[in-house]
Amino acid sequence: MPAGVVLSPSPTAVNVVDDIVEQAQRAHELGVRQVWLAQQFDIDAITLAALIGTAVPGLGVGTSVVPINPRHPLIVASAAQTAQAASHGRFSLGLGLGAHELEREAFGISPVHTVDRLREHLTVLRAILDDGEVDFRGRHLTASPRWPVRVAGGAPIPIYVAAMGPKALRVTGELADGTLPYLAGPRTVAEFIVPTITEPAAQAGRPAPRVLAGVPVAVTDRVQEAGDLAAAALALYDSIPSYQRVVAREGLSSAAELAVIGSADTVHRRLSAYRDAGATDIVVATLQRDDRAALEDLWRVVAAL
């Protein structure tokens, strides 16, 4: 089962790019073969992926995830193809539907018809990446440029969508290469995500989609302390309906209980449950950003997977 890690800047980093590139190099030395980068309001994930792709040959890089709002797919395709060329074919594009309240506050936008917009966004990306050209006029998007949209060495690019709802999963199965859900427990993966995304992929004649399960993890013998970290870091998800449904489906009382915490053996065993549930990949996000020793322990566990 392929596994990767989400890289986050150290809270004490003097230069965030140098810090992340150094982390990527060290993770690769310890056996990690795939790293993922979250989009923030400050640092740009696709740009950073391109830099890592050139600095650490052989290491896969991807975004987990870049929200589709307020980004036009022409811009996303341009940046993603550049990252793919820079990494010599090791880049993966992870997209998300966005958090509407955050986007309203930051950009002054309140996107509607989210799933329809996702369909149009993916349709434009597929045309650019598969055909090297696009002429699209939809309800929400227009993409009809006069100039070339293909970047030499920039395709193909696997596209994953952080889809959690049934409609988004069906669109993802039809048009993307898989899904990258965060905090979807093993039962949710097996009973909901895998069947919901697989059927439309088959109907569209696409290969079986990959399911990259994103899991917050801490490798530690200080379980209570790590549990407190998880409760603080994941409290936001308890207020989001899609995650409330996941927590209920898993038979838990809070999102923090989906965190995998314990010794290296415990973490390895619990992450393996995702493989048994049908996940094709694991994407591990640390709960211990400021503890480098614990972080390297986690990277070793991921390498062993």
Single-letter code of the amino acid located at 98: G
Report yes or no: 21 and 53 within 8 Å, Cβ to Cβ: no
Is 274 domain-assigned? no
Average pLDDT of span 225-240: 93
Report yes or no: 289 and 8 within 8 Å, Cβ to Cβ: yes
Exposed, middle or buried: residue 130 (CB in 10 Å: 0-12, 13-18, 19+)?
exposed
CA dihedral 282, 71, 192, 287 (to 10 degrees): 40
Give the per-residue pLDDT at 1.
58
Is 283 domain-assigned? no
**Alpha-carbon gap, residue 20 to 10, rounded angstroms:** 8
Sign of dihedral through CA atoms 196, 248, 269, 2? Answer: positive
More confident call, 46 vs 103 = 46
Give the contacts of 158 (CB within 8 A, at least 6 positions apart): 92, 93, 177, 178, 210
Give the per-residue pLDDT at 101.
77
**Alpha-carbon gap, residue 99 to 108, rounded angstroms:** 13
Is 298 domain-assigned? no
Give the per-residue pLDDT at 241.
85
Is 32 domain-assigned? yes
Is the per-residue pLDDT at 252 higher than 90? yes
Is 25 domain-assigned? yes
**Alpha-carbon gap, residue 66 to 45, rounded angstroms:** 7
Q: Which CATH number fits the domain that encloses residue 18? A: 3.20.20.30
Is the per-residue pLDDT at 295 higher than 80? yes
Give the per-residue pLDDT at 103.
81
* Among the listed residues 92, 95, 80, the one whose alpha carbon sits nearest the alpha carbon of residue 158: 92
Average pLDDT of span 255-270: 96
**Alpha-carbon gap, residue 35 to 63, rounded angstroms:** 9
Give the per-residue pLDDT at 5.
98
Percent of the chain with pLDDT over 90: 88
Is 253 domain-assigned? no
Structural domain count, the chain: 1
Mean of per-residue pLDDT scores for the chain: 95
pLDDT digits (tens, 9 = 90+) for 91-148: 999 999 987 777 888 788 887 889 999 999 999 999 999 999 999 999 999 999 999 9
| H-state helical runs in the chain | 16-29, 45-55, 73-87, 100-107, 114-126, 166-175, 186-188, 194-203, 223-234, 241-249, 264-277, 292-304
Is 156 domain-assigned? yes
* Among the listed residues 274, 303, 130, the one whose alpha carbon sits nearest the alpha carbon of residue 211: 274
**Alpha-carbon gap, residue 110 to 200, rounded angstroms:** 29
**Alpha-carbon gap, residue 260 to 226, rounded angstroms:** 10
Provide the residue range defining the domain that includes 118.
1-161
Is 229 domain-assigned? no
Gap between the terminal Cα atoms of the chain: 7
**Alpha-carbon gap, residue 279 to 273, rounded angstroms:** 9
pLDDT digits (tens, 9 = 90+) for 161-214: 999 999 999 999 999 999 999 999 999 999 999 999 999 999 999 999 999 999
